[in-house]
Structure 1
Amino acid sequence: DRPLKLRRAANGFYYVNGTPTDCVHLAVTGMLEQQPDMVVSGINAGANMGDDTIYSGTVAAATEGFLLGIPSLAVSLVGRELKYYETAARITTELVQRFAAQEFRQPWLLNVNVPDVPYEQLQGREVTHLGKRHKAEPVIKALTPSGETVYWVGPAGKAQDAGAGTDFHALLGQRVSVTPLQIDLTQFNQLDAVQHWLGQL
């Protein structure tokens, strides 16, 4: 319910007073004279694996590009101290160059997680599917110096499904995970059950 404002930083980059999705939407539909060849979102500081993708602003921005008909990447650096952004940048460059050399026939949405290690220590790249986390840890209650109660969001849950083929498993082996995503979240195997339940009302 508020207008978006476009600003230009001293380094020449543009920024918007909105969400990552707003940035992509404004650029593609209102700013650029022609549609870009690709949307790259990130590098996000921290993992976007498994259930994270549902909440992620980084993935949401790439999803907006995909919905606008543009091949899109969401890139995240996974680790504790996050020292090796150059590793994620180099992987991103490789993927963009691969796309430029051999385009897909249809737009795609790829979620990329890169281990926070020197590039030379990467153990490869792996096409993966999403794993699953345990539920998040509880919020942490605290008091400010003025006596006001505040709540810190608890840490993300640990991996529940980190089996072979998942993004979690790839990262545990210091491999880059590349996961193709889709938009439709419909739980098709529950359609009949919900229809039966709804018929009881």
Structure 2
Amino acid sequence: MRILLSNDDGFRSEGIITLKDELSKTDEVWVVAPEKEQTCISHAITLHKPLRLTDHGDNIFSTNGTPADAVLLGLRVVLPTLPDLVISGINKGPNMGQDVSYSGTVAAAREGAFVGLSAIACSVSARKAFRFDTAVRAMRHVVDNVRDCVGVPGVFINVNIPNIPWESLQGFVVTRLGKRIYNGKVIERTDPRGRKYYWVGGDSAERFEPIEGTDLHAVDKGFVSVTPLHWDTTSHVNIEKFEKIFHGG
């Protein structure tokens, strides 16, 4: 199987290197990833400056573009033919709930889904001391289980892995997106020249609605969360309601 790896942490990130080493034991693996970290850049693509590719050997390429750019370049320029699978990660930090809208990791997988490819975004739920040993074993399990599956057009998988020893994992569970509780804080400070500047985010406290069946609840309880996503974000259940509003039906 031919696999394209990308991420938003950069091509030197331990997560993507460790995952490449593991998957290369059984598959043909290519890396096309940003040259530097681009956390929370979402699905931005570069239109107003040239993109560059650097070949580092061993099927590893970096670009000055975004995660979505990296996948696009991988699919259209670098790989000799389209891959069987696109994987983004392993990300340093969780991507659950509303995170998926901000995440460059998820966007890289979504870019693969845009062209009808099977795609997986994967993240380890921690802010430091990342257990990539556990995360890589979890991803090996996920990849081996989807290997023979026919991808559903437009659908991709978002995997979040608890930052605990492999032996402590409670299993794998299919979930829906949960709801994070962001503090929404913006910190104002003043630089030495008297000009104001701002930090978005405030503290990094992890708060969420503890609803069973969600990705946030599953990871909190020690399960690997597997959430099927779709690039079509239309609220289909509300179409009829709004048709009545705008067309007087």
Could you say which TM-score interval applies, normalised by the shorter chain? Answer: 0.7 to 0.9
Are the equivalent residues in 2 in contact too, given 1:112–1:179 (CA < 8 A)?
yes
Go from structure 1 to structure 2 and tell me whether the alpha carbon gap of 1:37 and 1:189 turns closer, same or farther (over 3 Å shift): closer
Counterpart residue number, 1:103: 149
Paired residues, number: 199
1:56 pairs with 2:56 = no
RMSD between aligned residues: 2.4
Aligned-partner Cα distance in 1 for 2:242–2:149: 41
1:31-53 per-residue CA deviation (whole Å, 9 max, x = no partner) reads 21111110010111111101111
Are the equivalent residues in 2 in contact too, given 1:137–1:156 (CA < 8 A)?
no
TM-score (norm 1): 0.87
Identity within the alignment, %? 39
Counterpart residue number, 1:178: 226
Counterpart residue number, 2:5: none
Are the equivalent residues in 2 in contact too, given 1:133–1:157 (CA < 8 A)?
no
Go from structure 1 to structure 2 and tell me whether the alpha carbon gap of 1:136 and 1:104 turns closer, same or farther (over 3 Å shift): farther
Aligned-partner Cα distance in 2 for 1:177–1:140: 33
Go from structure 1 to structure 2 and tell me whether the alpha carbon gap of 1:156 and 1:50 turns closer, same or farther (over 3 Å shift): farther
1:13 pairs with 2:60 = yes
Structure 2 portions without partners, runs of 5+ = 1-47
Q: Stretches of 4+ moved more than 4 A in 1?
A: 155-160, 192-200
Go from structure 1 to structure 2 and tell me whether the alpha carbon gap of 1:189 and 1:97 turns closer, same or farther (over 3 Å shift): closer
3-state DSSP of counterpart to 1:29: helix
Aligned-partner Cα distance in 2 for 1:5–1:80: 30
Aligned-partner Cα distance in 2 for 1:198–1:136: 36
1:119 aligned residue (147, 163, 166): 166
Aligned-partner Cα distance in 1 for 2:61–2:78: 11
Structure 1 portions without partners, runs of 5+ = none
1:46 pairs with 2:99 = no
